[in-house]
Amino acid sequence: MMAAINSILICAGRVTIRGNGMKTTRIVIAGGGFAGLYAAMHFDKRLARRADVEVTLISRENFILFTPMLHEVAAGDLYPGDIVNPLRRILRHVKFVEADVQAQLI
């Protein structure tokens, strides 16, 4: 049985990049829903331009669907394209990976 979980997982770690010896902090955000997107937007504005920080967002879809406006589409007041935005256009300095993240219980 599969259950849908709307949550966000942010992992951060410090690794040393060989070559220049500079330490880099890598932040990985699993989940591209509202929480994951807003966390990525926060890091995009605050940290992602720094050379010592690498931010990556992993999401199943490469877009965000603004679900509170779905009733407007159903009523014919908006087009479906009006409530869908590509994540890569929103996040300029955050790396994006389109993948499905699954947890495995040990």
Task: Tell me how far apart the alpha carbons of residues 27 and 40 are, in angstroms, rounded to a whole number.
Answer: 10
**Is residue 23 situated within a structural domain?**
no
Contact assessment for residue 44 and residue 95, using Cβ atoms and an 8 Å cutoff: no
**Is residue 2 situated within a structural domain?**
no
Domain span holding position 65: 32-98
**Is residue 85 situated within a structural domain?**
yes
**Is residue 91 situated within a structural domain?**
yes
What total number of domains does the chain contain?
A: 1
pTM above 0.95, yes or no: no
**Is residue 40 situated within a structural domain?**
yes
Q: For tokens 């993240």, what's the residue? A: 101
Residue 21 has a pLDDT of: 66
**Is residue 25 situated within a structural domain?**
no
Please state the separation of Cα 67 from the chain's center in Å. Answer: 17
**Is residue 6 situated within a structural domain?**
no
**Is residue 50 situated within a structural domain?**
yes
Instruction: Tell me the pLDDT of the chain (106 aa) as tens digits.
Output: 333 444 455 666 655 555 566 778 888 898 888 999 999 999 999 987 788 888 999 999 999 988 889 999 999 999 999 999 999 899 999 999 999 888 788 7
